[in-house]
Structure 1
């Protein structure tokens, strides 16, 4: 589905899990995180956006991002971008290509069984 600016915005603190789905042709990002949270996305396909996941710019709260069994292609900037020194990303079993810098501002990164194609 074409998404415009973003497909989903986290507007309250908590746990968010997305299991399945797709998004394409985003003007900016696929997912926007505006509050401290644990954000899990799995079995998802994303194509042609600025970023796959963006923590609200200039914020320092903690976000834990988990990406599993996704296919991510044609991101102009990154898979995950944050300005927080405490936020983390764990990406597993994911295929990706043409994703810009992959991680922007992320200090805590765990990866396992991913494939660049």
Structure 2
């Protein structure tokens, strides 16, 4: 099947959010990674503590702690479609952290990272166009997704448009197309890297990662648990020939010593 062209976006004007976010939602806990909300989430999908409608992109710099409030798109962010070019619910500046957030439906284009960023304990109940996208221009930037989960992604969960590295760890995903995709047809292409560590993947799904081997992408997989896929239909590492226009083509799959860096023992099935 030809991958959907949901990768390249024109530069858009920076939005000034009109949403008033309560100060309590922006409070940073004394010790990140602790507290009753995170402890409750550790056992499985969290129960949201409230709901906040988002009609204009929320700009995040520094650290924002959502306290497990569910954020839902409304107005221009609320059509629930898969159309290209949607704006995100959250736009993270270089160095920003977003934690303890539940993203409901509609989710628009989820989260954009403009450089190095961290998403900690973020949950997508029904992925929109994409759950999160790494943009930016620096080859040293790293987007880290630590904890949380995503489900109901008709195409991609995490999209990698800029250069640099994406780390996905301690995560769970179910009912999805690809957990990660290096942009197949961006106008500017780069060598991109992804690390997937300690992730539980529940069928149905197409692939854990999709990378462009012709641009030198690498994918490192470890500690992967696949649930409900007795026929092993979910491809751990799908290889593409990326392009700068038109559509990329699938050219293979499976571990090797150059691009898809894992062993069969790094993946277990339940």
TM bracket, shorter-chain basis: 0.7 to 0.9
Which of 62, 72, 94 pairs up with 2:224? Answer: 94
Using the TM superposition, give the Cα deviation of residue 77 of structure 1 relative to its aligned residue in structure 2, in angstroms.
2.5
1:79 aligns with 2:208: yes
1:115 aligns with 2:260: no
1:44 aligns with 2:174: no
1:103 aligns with 2:237: yes
1:50-101 CA distances to partner (integer Å, 9 max, x unpaired)?
1110111135411111011110122542111123421011111111244533
Q: Residue 2 of structure 1 corresponds to which residue in structure 2?
A: 126
Q: Could you state the TM-score of these two structures normalised by the residue count of structure 2?
A: 0.40
Q: Residue 66 of structure 1 corresponds to which residue in structure 2?
A: 195
Runs of 4+ in 1 over 6 A off after TM superposition: none
Aligned residues of 2:174 and 2:205 also touching (Cα < 8 A): no
Using the TM superposition, give the Cα deviation of residue 2 of structure 1 relative to its aligned residue in structure 2, in angstroms.
1.3
Q: Name the SS for the 1:52 alignment partner.
A: strand
Q: Greater strand share, 1 or 2?
A: 1
Q: Taking CA–CA contacts closer than 8 Å with sequence separation of 6 or more, which of the two structures ends up with the larger relative contact order?
A: 1
Separation in 1, partners of 2:152, 2:183:
20
Q: Greater helix share, 1 or 2?
A: 2
Give the number of aligned pairs: 117
Structure 2, gaps ≥5 residues long: 1-124, 240-252
Which of 131, 136, 139 pairs up with 1:12? Answer: 136
Deviates more, 1:22-31 or 1:88-97: 88-97
Q: Could you state the TM-score of these two structures normalised by the residue count of structure 1?
A: 0.87
Using the TM superposition, give the Cα deviation of residue 48 of structure 1 relative to its aligned residue in structure 2, in angstroms.
0.8
Separation in 1, partners of 2:211, 2:201:
18
Using the TM superposition, give the Cα deviation of residue 22 of structure 1 relative to its aligned residue in structure 2, in angstroms.
0.5
Separation in 2, partners of 1:76, 1:40:
20
